[in-house]
Chain A
Amino acid sequence: MSDIAAQKKPNVALNWIIRNPIWVFVAIIFIFFSFASEYFFDAQNMKNLLVQTSTIGLIALGMTLVMINGNIDLSVGATLALAASLAVSIMGWPMFDSWGNWQMLPAVAAGLLSGIVLGAVNGFIVWKTGVDAFIVTLGAMLGVRGLVFVYTEEQSFYAANFAYSDFGSSSIGPVPTLALLFILCAVAAHILLSRTVHGRNTYAVGGNREAAVNAGIRVGPNMVINFMIVGFFAALAGITLSTQMGASTPNLGRDYELWTITAVVLGGTKLTGGAGNIIGTFGGVLAIGILRNGMNLMQVPAFYVLVILGVILIAVLYLDKQLNRKGEEELRL
């Protein structure tokens, strides 16, 4: 075969695409829906899309770190609900009545803190007991959801301060505040992962834990910090989601762990750890957002949307496997 001999080294752009096939997919579905639905390519819809994706997106940023680390966190949905319930209810406590808009400060702080603390607890249990993160956070997922019901007494809360829900629908210039927040957080997470010592160690621990120990990396603290980060992002997502609704319900964030993991995996992060990046995760989040938004506009019934998403998840990962196998062979030449 002459074309084998004629094969040249793939250029940088092609290499990038092979490593991040999800962005090709995002481009394809973006163009598809732009033609398929007259409502899709529209400034207002684009804003909606970004706000809709920001919730899963924020959690996915943290989940990317935890999964590169070789762990997983199934408790993010429950953490989201707890943070949202705390924030919305504390805002209404009588002791903060005289604080005006400042009453949101202790509320949001408490919500974020709850996420960080839950993450730390997850991380410590994984570190100290050596029980698999899947099991530990599965337990946390059930337990924390239980706590949410205990705390809320199965009630929904409504935000006492209208500024809270105004924030959720506000814009800075043409960009919705929540979308901007997500993008800023994504940039921060990208820098953390790609440029800092913590980020490098995160890859090393997930790539080969034994080698990381032998290189003198403190594996336990590294994992705990990543669990705290995902806890923080889950709580932040809970708060942004409750600002959109002006309320919180104890069932908030159900199945979000699954959507998040789907987005992260679509973005090329390996379940086994050691590989992945925020750019891919961003693509994964957008892919899910565009598919849901686009099919919704085309009035595809909701249940079919789930079926299609499931099929696409498996198809994209199969494609990724094929592409990366080829990519590896090319590198070896």
Chain B
Amino acid sequence: MSISNPTLQLVGIVKTFPGVRALDDVNFDVQPGEVHALLGENGAGKSTLMKVLAGMYQPDGGKIVIDGSPVVMRTPLEAKQSGVILIHQELSLAEEMTVAENVFLGELPKKRFGLVDWKTLHQRVYVILNKLNCDFEPTTPVDSLSIAKKQMVEIARALTHDAKVVIFDEPTASLTDQEKVVLFDVIRDLQADGVGIVYISHRMEEIFHLSNRISVLRDGTYRGTLMTAETNEDEVTQLMIGRSLSYERLHEHVETGDVALSVENLSCGKLYQDVSFEVRTGEVVGFYGLVGAGRTEIAETLFGLRKPTSGQIHLQGKAVDINSPVEAIQFGLSLVPENRKEQGLVLAMSCRDNMTLPQIDALTTGPFVSGTEELKIYNTYHDQLEIKTPSWRQPVQNLSGGNQQKIVIGKWLGMHPKVLIVDEPTRGIDVGSKSEIHNLLRKLAKSGYAVVVISSEMPEVLHVSDRIVAMYNGRVMREFTSDEVTEDNLIQAISGLSDNNLKVA
């Protein structure tokens, strides 16, 4: 394609958060009528960049240029008025209102006295919906629509404005194959109208199918732009992860001990069915699958947060019934949850207090909590896990993601669990701390814990696990030993089918 003047240009964008440089000198541009894919691992800075583009974050450095003139977008509304529209991964619709109201939310056409001009509203929305080939009415309530149709409502919203750039953030994450075809048609129509498209996705085949150019971010830095027609998946992947595809595996053949946890035919309604596996002391068992495959739900069941509909859980050979986290902890189970800020930490509390939270009952002298006992525990794990913080008094919200995660892990080590379940151990953590956490998990297994790691990142699972359980749609598809697993057979197992079913015309 010809290189014309870019609609949108980002030059040297910098954005920092406490402890993290989320974006460092990032360059990016979009031509009118092109699909520019943005790729990067989790935590590479894609979402931050998009939020800067959509006016939700202010960059600390660099400039944004639209149609040749620099702009400052302080709010999402200003971004919208500049012609930049973000289609969120998590849709942001007012569920209780109608399609038409959502499409023109905040900008409803008015009659005299500020009354809503329903007739004009419905006509205009009707035209847009027709253009998108939608089969629902402007008056349909949004909460009765499927996710794919809700996404269309979001796109319709973009079309009410003179959209110059439309950003799609993981748009196909929860769509069926047919729905994807419809979405891709819409994207092509937008492209034909001269709109620049930014397409963020993990799915390589979609990117090669749709895009004109591919830009790659890694650890918040810009790694380069490739013409889609002149590159291949390997080259892109290398750029993305900064190394070749052969992962160094951390595990040596370990002496595994007794079965610490065994699960037989465990089911929980529609969430997962007939799940069986074993974890021995001294080993790391990885659970890999797409989001929604039921992995987190299994962990929640083991931790007493969900009630299984059938099946058996054995801990050290004994059948147990786990009804609450309190009981799970007593049985020697612990869970490092997937969202550490929402589920794992009391952010305003100090490092020490978070660390001792599950066990302060035991750290008392008389009726009072003993600060010295607490500090003893804190220091033990602070040193063992190499947590970096100026003082134990620091509220955990001031720590970086990696150190926060170590606090959560330390919290459980203090309880001397037998089974440690870690859900997404390195989500939102920078690369340096990632490998620290990985080494830590290996070390813990070696020192006699049975470790379960749930992860959506393949390199991570391959990296730390002795065995890998592959899940798809609530079922265990296959269990691999580290010798038999390859990326190919693992991907096949977690996509449920053997071929990649995205050969769209």
Q: Which residues of A contact B (CB under 8 A)?
A: 191, 195-197, 199-201, 203-204, 207-208, 210-218, 274-275, 331-332
Q: Would you call B348 and A275 a contact (CB within 8 A)?
A: yes
The answer, among A203, A208, A331, for a CB contact under 8 Å with B398, is A331
A191 vs B368: C-alpha distance when bound (angstroms): 9
Q: Would you call B346 and A211 a contact (CB within 8 A)?
A: yes
Q: Report the minimal beta-carbon distance from B486 to chain A, rounded to whole angstroms.
A: 35
Q: Would you call A195 and B369 a contact (CB within 8 A)?
A: yes
The answer, among B326, B348, B394, for a CB contact under 8 Å with A218, is B326
The residue in chain A whose Cβ has the minimal distance to the Cβ of B339 is A210
The residue in chain A whose Cβ has the minimal distance to the Cβ of B325 is A216
**1/0 contact trace for B17-60 toward A, CB 8 Å?**
01000000000000000000000000000000000000000000
CB-CB under 8 A for A212 and B346, given A331-B398, A332-B18, A332-B398:
yes
Q: Cβ of A211: which chain B residues have Cβ within 8 Å of it? A: 342-346, 357
The residue in chain A whose Cβ has the minimal distance to the Cβ of B411 is A215
Interface segment among B84-92, B93-101, B358-366: the answer is B358-366
A274 vs B397: C-alpha distance when bound (angstroms): 13
Q: Report the minimal beta-carbon distance from A9 to chain B, rounded to whole angstroms.
A: 10
Q: Report the minimal beta-carbon distance from B88 to chain A, rounded to whole angstroms.
A: 23
Q: Report the minimal beta-carbon distance from B198 to chain A, rounded to whole angstroms.
A: 31
> Which residue, of A197, A211, A214, A217, has the highest number of chain B Cβ atoms within 10 A?
A214
Q: Would you call A214 and B343 a contact (CB within 8 A)?
A: yes
11 residue pairs of the A-B complex, CB under 8 angstroms, read A195-B369, A196-B367, A203-B348, A207-B346, A207-B348, A211-B343, A211-B345, A214-B305, A214-B325, A215-B358, A217-B357
Q: Would you call B360 and A197 a contact (CB within 8 A)?
A: yes
Q: Cβ of B360: which chain A residues have Cβ within 8 Å of it? A: 197, 200-201
Q: Is there a chain A Cβ closer than 8 Å to B165's Cβ?
A: no
CB-CB under 8 A for A203 and B346, given A215-B357, A216-B329, A331-B398:
yes
Q: Cβ of A212: which chain B residues have Cβ within 8 Å of it? A: 346, 357
Q: Is there a chain A Cβ closer than 8 Å to B349's Cβ?
A: yes
Q: Would you call A213 and B325 a contact (CB within 8 A)?
A: yes
Q: Cβ of B263: which chain A residues have Cβ within 8 Å of it? A: none
Q: Cβ of B395: which chain A residues have Cβ within 8 Å of it? A: 331
Q: Cβ of B344: which chain A residues have Cβ within 8 Å of it? A: 211, 214
A216 vs B344: C-alpha distance when bound (angstroms): 11
Q: Would you call A197 and B369 a contact (CB within 8 A)?
A: yes
The answer, among A200, A208, A214, A217, for a CB contact under 8 Å with B335, is A214
A162 vs B358: C-alpha distance when bound (angstroms): 51
Q: Would you call B357 and A207 a contact (CB within 8 A)?
A: no
The answer, among B18, B342, B367, for a CB contact under 8 Å with A210, is B342
Q: Cβ of B398: which chain A residues have Cβ within 8 Å of it? A: 331-332
A215 vs B333: C-alpha distance when bound (angstroms): 11
A154 vs B369: C-alpha distance when bound (angstroms): 48
The residue in chain A whose Cβ has the minimal distance to the Cβ of B17 is A332
Q: Would you call B346 and A196 a contact (CB within 8 A)?
A: no
Q: Is there a chain A Cβ closer than 8 Å to B460's Cβ?
A: no
Q: Would you call A216 and B326 a contact (CB within 8 A)?
A: yes
Q: Is there a chain A Cβ closer than 8 Å to B458's Cβ?
A: no
Q: Report the minimal beta-carbon distance from B465 to chain A, rounded to whole angstroms.
A: 24
> Which residue, of A196, A208, A216, A217, has the highest number of chain B Cβ atoms within 10 A?
A216
Q: Cβ of A207: which chain B residues have Cβ within 8 Å of it? A: 346-349
CB-CB under 8 A for A203 and B349, given A196-B367, A196-B368, A211-B343:
yes
A22 vs B128: C-alpha distance when bound (angstroms): 56
Q: Is there a chain A Cβ closer than 8 Å to B337's Cβ?
A: yes
The 3 A-B residue pairs with the shortest CB-CB distance in the complex, in nearest-first order? A207-B346, A216-B329, A215-B358
Q: Cβ of A332: which chain B residues have Cβ within 8 Å of it? A: 18, 398
A295 vs B478: C-alpha distance when bound (angstroms): 77
Q: Would you call A274 and B361 a contact (CB within 8 A)?
A: no
Q: Cβ of B303: which chain A residues have Cβ within 8 Å of it? A: 214
A210 vs B411: C-alpha distance when bound (angstroms): 15
CB-CB under 8 A for A204 and B346, given A218-B326, A332-B18:
yes
Q: Report the minimal beta-carbon distance from B387 to chain A, rounded to whole angstroms.
A: 17
Q: Is there a chain A Cβ closer than 8 Å to B353's Cβ?
A: yes
Chain B, 148-167, CB within 8 A of any chain A CB: none
A196 vs B367: C-alpha distance when bound (angstroms): 6
Q: Cβ of A275: which chain B residues have Cβ within 8 Å of it? A: 348
CB-CB under 8 A for A216 and B347, given A196-B367, A197-B364:
no
A214 vs B306: C-alpha distance when bound (angstroms): 12
Q: Cβ of A218: which chain B residues have Cβ within 8 Å of it? A: 326
The answer, among B305, B325, B367, B369, for a CB contact under 8 Å with A200, is B369
Q: Report the minimal beta-carbon distance from B79 to chain A, rounded to whole angstroms.
A: 25
A211 vs B411: C-alpha distance when bound (angstroms): 12
Chain B, 321-338, CB within 8 A of any chain A CB: 325-326, 328-329, 335, 337
Q: Report the minimal beta-carbon distance from A211 to chain B, rounded to whole angstroms.
A: 5
Q: Cβ of B345: which chain A residues have Cβ within 8 Å of it? A: 208, 211
Q: Cβ of A213: which chain B residues have Cβ within 8 Å of it? A: 305, 325
A278 vs B115: C-alpha distance when bound (angstroms): 50
Q: Would you call A274 and B348 a contact (CB within 8 A)?
A: yes
A109 vs B435: C-alpha distance when bound (angstroms): 62
Q: Report the minimal beta-carbon distance from B375 to chain A, rounded to whole angstroms.
A: 14
Q: Report the minimal beta-carbon distance from A170 to chain B, rounded to whole angstroms.
A: 31
Q: Report the minimal beta-carbon distance from B423 to chain A, rounded to whole angstroms.
A: 11
Q: Cβ of B394: which chain A residues have Cβ within 8 Å of it? A: 331
The residue in chain A whose Cβ has the minimal distance to the Cβ of B337 is A214
20 new A-B contacts, CB < 8 A, other than A212-B357, A331-B395, are: A195-B368, A196-B369, A197-B360, A200-B357, A201-B360, A203-B346, A204-B349, A207-B346, A208-B346, A210-B343, A211-B343, A211-B344, A214-B325, A214-B337, A214-B343, A214-B344, A215-B357, A216-B325, A216-B326, A216-B358
Q: Report the minimal beta-carbon distance from B323 to chain A, rounded to whole angstroms.
A: 12
A215 vs B398: C-alpha distance when bound (angstroms): 21
Q: Would you call B347 and A200 a contact (CB within 8 A)?
A: no
Q: Report the minimal beta-carbon distance from B36 to chain A, rounded to whole angstroms.
A: 34
Q: Cβ of A203: which chain B residues have Cβ within 8 Å of it? A: 346, 348-349, 353
Q: Cβ of B347: which chain A residues have Cβ within 8 Å of it? A: 207-208
The residue in chain B whose Cβ has the minimal distance to the Cβ of A273 is B348
Q: Cβ of A199: which chain B residues have Cβ within 8 Å of it? A: 369
Q: Report the minimal beta-carbon distance from B306 to chain A, rounded to whole angstroms.
A: 13
A274 vs B398: C-alpha distance when bound (angstroms): 16
The residue in chain A whose Cβ has the minimal distance to the Cβ of B362 is A197
> Which residue, of B348, B361, B364, has the highest number of chain A Cβ atoms within 10 A?
B348
A185 vs B108: C-alpha distance when bound (angstroms): 57
Q: Report the minimal beta-carbon distance from A219 to chain B, rounded to whole angstroms.
A: 10
A129 vs B457: C-alpha distance when bound (angstroms): 39
A217 vs B369: C-alpha distance when bound (angstroms): 15
Q: Report the minimal beta-carbon distance from A205 to chain B, rounded to whole angstroms.
A: 9
